[in-house]
Chains A and B, each alone.
Chain A
Amino acid sequence: QSVLTQPPSASGTPGQRVTISCSGSSSNIGSNTVTWYQQLPGTAPKLLIYSNNQRPSGVPDRFSGSKSGTSASLAISGLQSEDEADYYCAAWDDSLSGRVFGTGTKVTVL
């Protein structure tokens, strides 16, 4: 059961900027940090952004994260073909006392 809402799809041409939203509530995004994962077809999710806007080493600076209130966003600038993947946001939920994931967004490079 996903309590974080994402658009099902997003697309852009190579070089464009794509933004993915993640909408939650005061018990999750509103009071905890947001994480973003990238899942390439047939593979395990990969950590992309943590603590709202931090990139692990090795993640290109084309990927950036932000958070405001009960929503968060992932931006991909200079879109590349290898960015075609599913993207998930996640956060801890204080009401559920558990981790919740977003519904997922499939990014297509046209």
Chain B
Amino acid sequence: QVQLQQWGAGLLKPSETLSLTCDVYGGSFSGYYWSWIRQPPGKGLEWIGDIYHSGSANCNPSLKSRVTISVDTSKNQFSLKLSSVTAADTAVYYCARGYGDYEDHWGQGTLVTVSS
């Protein structure tokens, strides 16, 4: 079965760059898009962006200037970088597998806290 295992630093200072990676186990890496979604504490979900196995990416316009999403098909993994973080970027970050108009498998989530 498909499993997504994400990892990365959980505590950052303002202005630093958030970096998360998601390893994909089981199933095919091709034919899907790979997403990042975040959830501030006690709040709702926000789509950050996604990337196809080919490397073509889409990003939330409100975050586009700070977001880089990349994929490494040789390692069955994809990554998120968010630059110049502030306290407003504190959230649980999820990676997910997308198919069509939905995400059918999600990672366990990583709490990223931005604090000086």
Interface residues on B, range: 20 to 34
Given A1-B62, A50-B100, are A99 and B109 also a contact pair (CB < 8 Å)? no
**Interface-lining segment among A17-25, A74-82, A84-92:** A84-92
B86 contacts A by Cβ under 8 Å = no
Interface residues on A, range: 20 to 34
Contact B46 A101 (CB under 8 A): yes
A88: chain B residues within 8 A (beta carbon) = 44-45
Contact A103 B101 (CB under 8 A): no
B25: chain A residues within 8 A (beta carbon) = none
**Bound complex: CA A80 to CA B106 (Å):** 24
Q: Give 1 or 0 for each of B69-104: 1 = CB within 8 Å of chain A CB.
A: 000000000000000000000000010000011111
**Bound complex: CA A44 to CA B108 (Å):** 6
Q: Give 1 or 0 for each of B35-65: 1 = CB within 8 Å of chain A CB.
A: 1000000001111011000000011111000
Q: Can you list 5 pairs linking A and B with CB atoms under 8 Å apart? A: A2-B44, A33-B100, A33-B102, A96-B61, A99-B47
